[in-house]
Amino acid sequence: MSVLVNKDSKVIVQGFTGSEGTFHAEQMIDYGTQVVGGVTPGKGGQEHLGKPVFNTVAEAVEKVGADTSIIFVPPAFAADAIMEAANAGIKVIITITEGIPVADMVKVAEYIKNRDCRLIGPNCPGVITPGEAKVGIMPGFVFKKGTIGIVSKSGTLTYEAADQVVRQGLGITTAIGIGGDPIIGTTTKEAVELLINDPETEAVVMIGEIGGQLEADAAKWYKASGSKKPIIGFIAGETAPAGRTMGHAGAIVGGSDDTAQAKKKIMREHGIHVVDSPAEIGLKVKEVMG
């Protein structure tokens, strides 16, 4: 079992023929991901990287049965790309694009609310199920198959956590980079819930950052769920000054409740094993897995 993506996922790349889309599509194909084509309006009927190019997502769904999309569309057009994918019946929409205006994402959130799809991102590294599918920009070689799920707001910390878990002789079921923007599709709680409910995932690494309530919401859900699967947590941004955006648009401390210290306290109170440094993640996973 994996969550969100696996060897059967039929992936299309929106923004397929652009430089970013081309580069990462090649990496995904090399990894073994089932990329079935791509979408670039006006270039339908062509072939790119040995895969068909379509003018619309609807066409890709109809012709090659696409069910998963990864979006490398410039910020000004990315919201439309997400809504087009949702409207065409794509089930998992992974948006890599950084810098999508918040107002656009407000519209997207409203648009997809009652549609049968899941948005990951934007401004995220994507999702990987090791050995099956890499739908994102992460370095695939870092990830080995195993029983630890990863949920992270940070791309680089996703890779760091995976590397540490693997160095401890363990591996990853699925790693989900949810993105660090103020408005994202899948929250920390929702991603944690997917992994806790996955029969093959035996523990979850949850990497958050200052700003917002996502980690607190996840911690409260976890305690209420009564799950016996351990969660190992880390919050980035401990030394950040209040009121300043750090790295991600969503990483801004608004009050005393969304500092790193406050979040870690809430997480500990709700049964999460919290580490104070990302360097301790792998060792803590190994320890709690016994």
Residue 244, token pair as written in the block: 């300043």
Catalytic residue among 24, 48, 248, 270: 248
Distance CA 107, CA 171 (A): 38
Q: Is 43 annotated as a binding residue?
A: yes
Query: Is 3 in contact with 147 (CB distance < 8 Å)?
Result: no
Is 17 known as a binding-site position?
Answer: yes
Has 112 been labeled as part of a binding site?
no
* Active-site annotation holds for 270: no
Annotated ligand binding at 31? The verdict is no
Concatenate the DSSP letters of all residues of 72-130 into one string: ---HHHHHHHHHHHHHHT-SEEEE------HHHHHHHHHHHTTSS-EEE-SSS-EEEET
SS3 265: helix
Given a contact cutoff of 8 angstroms between Cβ atoms, the answer to whether 210 and 253 are in contact is yes
Strand partners, 14: 39, 71
Residue 47, annotated ligand binder?
A: no
Asked whether residue 159 is marked as a ligand-binding residue, the answer is: yes
Q: Please name the residue that has the structure tokens 């580490």.
A: 275
Residues marked as binding for CoA?
Answer: 17-20, 43, 96-98
Residues marked as binding for substrate?
Answer: 159
Residues marked as binding?
Answer: 17-20, 43, 96-98, 159
Residues tagged active-site = 248
